[in-house]
């Protein structure tokens, strides 16, 4: 028995468009982001997927993405589990700042370290390692049991919270996951075995 895990990073947000550090701040989707979410819903439906269990973060851009996907898949009357443990990485003092302005304030090299190192957090914020420390226990305790039971699970969340899950599933090193980009609105699909381990990655 295998379960299916569908991970979707939220569609483009208003702050993605403005090149701002977002983190736990709560902007909604742009028109492009709405289109990305709807397109993913149509793709998943056309491919024959029928999610049975739904998870998202406490932030509206991920919640809105999930709602739009379900609408396009014509899935109604569902129970959605929302948790801040699936929230984006907290960028701390960088939150709300334009990325170019941050480089001017702290220097290109320092901002690059905060953005692209595994375990160096920005001031007042989280590193990817910190993000994984809250996301992975939630994944193992709450999502994996559904996959072991053979269910199809849809998770709409954020670039860094999902990267930490991808890192665990694919067995990637910190260096490898830092190079892994998840595009807005794009699904990543895995078959997960009854032991909770990766069986295969599926293209859609």
* Residues involved in catalysis: 10, 88
Alpha carbon separation from 141 to 45, 50, 91, 123, 144 (Å, rounded): 28, 23, 26, 30, 6
200: left (phi over 0), alpha (psi -120 to 50) or beta: beta
Q: Is the Cβ–Cβ distance between 8 and 155 less than 8 Å?
A: yes
Which of 45, 57, 11 is CA-nearest to residue 164? 57
| Cβ-defined contacts of 102-107 (< 8 Å, 24+) | 102/21
């Amino acid at each position: 028995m295998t379960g299916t895990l569908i991970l979707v990073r939220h569609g483009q947000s208003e702050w993605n468009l403005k090149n701002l550090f977002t983190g736990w701040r709560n902007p909604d989707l742009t028109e492009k982001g709405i289109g990305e979410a709807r397109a993913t819903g149509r793709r998943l439906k056309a491919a024959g997927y029928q999610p049975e269990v739904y998870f998202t973060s406490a932030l509206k851009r991920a919640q809105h993405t999930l709602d739009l996907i379900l609408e396009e898949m014509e899935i109604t009357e569902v129970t959605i589990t929302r948790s801040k443990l699936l929230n984006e990485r907290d960028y701390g003092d960088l939150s709300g700042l334009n990325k170019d302005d941050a480089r001017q304030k702290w220097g290109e090299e320092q901002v690059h370290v905060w953005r692209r190192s595994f375990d160096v957090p920005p001031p007042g914020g989280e590193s990817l390692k910190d993000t994984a420390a809250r996301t992975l226990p939630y994944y193992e305790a709450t999502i994996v049991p559904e996959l072991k039971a053979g269910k199809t699970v849809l998770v709409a969340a954020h670039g860094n919270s999902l990267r930490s899950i991808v890192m665990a599933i694919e067995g990637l090193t910190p260096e490898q996951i830092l190079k892994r980009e998840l595009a807005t609105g794009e699904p990543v699909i895995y078959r997960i075995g009854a032991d909770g381990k990766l069986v295969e990655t599926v293209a859609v």
